[in-house]
Amino acid sequence: MFISSAFAQSAPVAAAGGDLQSTLMSMLPLVLMFVVLYFVMIRPQMKKQKEHKSMIDALAKGDEVVTSGGMLGKVSKMGDNHIGLEVSSGVEVQVQRSAVVQVLPKGSLK
């Protein structure tokens, strides 16, 4: 009386080529987002990491550097993973090589 009768419907017949094309078009925005993400975020980050690694590998005694904690000093000892950083005359601190974020021009520290 209040509920109408339900009748089964047959599934629509679609052409095989049209179905593939609609699937590809629905995936296109997702693929474009990944491409944009790669060029905007991933690629510049990889370039920055590569530059930082080459800077760390090129460190030598006497270089004036800034650490990630903001400490300024002159490299006095070199090790595989650590460097000795002279922050004042007679005061030396051990820091990890990866903590160095910038190499200053010679004569920056007085």
pLDDT tens, position by position, 5-51: 777 777 665 555 568 888 888 899 999 999 999 999 999 999 999 99
- pTM of the entire predicted model: 0.69
CB 84, CB 75: distance < 8 Å: yes
63 with 75: CB under 8 angstroms?
yes
Quick one: fold of 60-110? SH3 type barrels. (2.30.30)
pLDDT in tens, 69-93: 999 999 999 999 999 999 999 999 9
Question: Among candidates 72, 69, 61, which has minimal Cα distance to 98?
Answer: 69
Query: Is residue 50 within 8 Å of residue 66, measured between CB atoms?
Result: no
Tell whether the torsion through CA atoms of 65, 66, 67 and 72 is positive or negative: positive
CB 86 within 8 A of CB 46: no
